[in-house]
Amino acid sequence: MRRVATFYHVTPSANRDSIHRHGLDWRHGGGGIAGSRAPEQEGIFLVEDMDETDWFVEMGAQRFAALDIWEITLEEDVLGGQLYEHPLAREFHGFLCWMQAIPPARLRLIKRDIPGGSQPAALG
């Protein structure tokens, strides 16, 4: 049995259909959780602990009507043991950014429609 590493990612709920079709991919959707119209990075911000999603939910709730939390699994043989040393992993301002789209098969929606404070924004 292959071992996997689990990560989490917060998105506006408006992006859910796009994520089901394309996975987590900065080229689809309309911008980042921080509210920019363009992605903050050409990559996917990941956190290693579910508790760390709170910060992203709090930030996104100021800008979006509802948010989702996705669980991501990456096989450990893909990671090679040292995540931050992997060629597809970068650190941006203390956050882990995976520099490749993550396909739908690696995703599971674990929390949906977390209430935010803004009007719905169709992003993709």
pLDDT digits (tens, 9 = 90+) for 19-75: 999 999 988 866 677 767 767 778 999 998 999 999 999 999 988 999 999 999 987
Q: Is residue 80 part of a domain?
A: yes
So what's the pLDDT on residue 121?
Answer: 44
In a domain, 104, yes or no: yes
Give how many domains the chain has, as a whole number: 1
For residue 86, the enclosing domain spans 4-115
Q: Is residue 121 part of a domain?
A: no
CATH number, domain containing residue 80: 3.20.170
Residue 124 within any structural domain of the chain: no
Residue 122 belongs to a domain: no
**Are residues 40 and 34 in contact, defined by beta-carbon separation less than 8 angstroms?**
yes
SS3 89: strand
Quote the pLDDT of residue 1: 52
Q: What is the reported pTM? A: 0.83
Q: Determine, yes or no, domain membership for 108.
A: yes
The stretches of the chain forming alpha helices (DSSP H) are 16-22, 53-61, 76-79
The pLDDT, as a whole number, for residue 44 is 92
